[in-house]
Amino acid sequence: MNEQVSKISANDRKLNYFPLGDRGKTVQVLAPATVANLVCGFDVLGMCLNEPNDLMEIKLLDEKKIVIISADGYPLPLDPALNTAGAPLVEMINELPDNIGFEVTIHKKIKPGSGIGSSAASAAGAVVGANYLLNDFFSKPDLVRFAMFGEKVASGVKHADNIAPGIYGGITLIRSIHPLDIVPISSPQLFVTIVHPQIEVRTSDARQILRKEVLLKDAIKQWGNIAGLVAGFIQNDLALIGRSLEDVIIEPVRSILIPGFDEVKLKCKVTGALGGGISGSGPSIFMLSKDKKTAIEVETVMKEIYNKIGLAYHTYVTTINQTGVKIVIG
């Protein structure tokens, strides 16, 4: 079932506001990494991962302000308006009574510029944790609406293909941004292997190199792949998933920024992966596999390629996170 957002006015929210306090004033959350686009679904498909995660602590304040703290010394912007966790909370408190604010302490484990949803993890973790302290006052579509302001800080564009799966869990289709319309999609229990070459590809830069116009024949092929991928997930059709993981519009342009990309994709599929491609804007590359054994063999192939290239990297073998941001202490 799809979920559409309907913005409630600040005055209406105040009239229906419930007293706080029964859940305490501090909560910790695990904010997960995500894979955006899923190859062919640029800005409309996303998938939540069980690893890696940021750890965030959110504290309820009795005054209208947002405080950002970097727990491990990572150089995060401390101005809330310039921080991917802070900007969504600024929007949130504008729809709350004047005496509500939040302090956010961030243990950053998902490296910015990695392509696995670092900015979205901060944004999603902040709004889910804050909403928990508010006794789930806001709906999930509301939380996505707030969190997209964090993505705008990071890339200049409000997109939800990392945010939505981070908040809903699993795989999500963003049918529309205006109005916001999110469709959770059922999926098989697949394994995900990721390699993160230790270079940075900024989302804003990766967007700037994209073509402004697309040939109709390419658009038709892309639409078929998106529909095929969604159908493959819903029907648990691994063969259909595999042959739908093809991008004829975005990947051919962005892949030139990622050393070893073509070799990784080809050899991982030969090894048994269903398919995969660039995670978000890169440089991380993800591959889907039907079982853990294959996923580990795919990881070995990735390591061999980047060892040969001489480029440092991190790898992850994980699964699809079906719940999104997790409350760990509350």
Active site amino acids:
151, 203
Runs of H (alpha helix) within the chain: 10-15, 86-93, 118-133, 140-155, 163-168, 203-208, 216-235, 238-244, 251-254, 261-271, 292-309
Neighbours of 248 (CB within 10 A): 16
The number of angstroms, rounded, from the C-alpha of 84 to the middle of its chain's C-alpha atoms is: 13
Strand, helix or coil at 82? helix
Interacting residues of 29 by C-beta distance below 8 A, sequence separation 6+? 55, 56, 58, 125, 128, 129, 132, 325, 326, 327, 328
Q: d(Cα 190, Cα 109) in Å, to the nearest integer?
A: 23
Interacting residues of 292 by C-beta distance below 8 A, sequence separation 6+? 191, 317
Residue whose entry in the numeric block shows the structure tokens 């912007």: 77
Tokens of 301: 């192939």
Q: Would the CA dihedral through 56, 113, 211, 275 be positive or negative?
A: negative
Tokens of 103: 């302090």
CB 162 within 8 A of CB 31: no
**Angle at alpha carbon of residue 157, lines to 63 and 196, rounded to 5°:** 100
Neighbours of 108 (CB within 10 A): 20
CB 143 within 8 A of CB 160: no
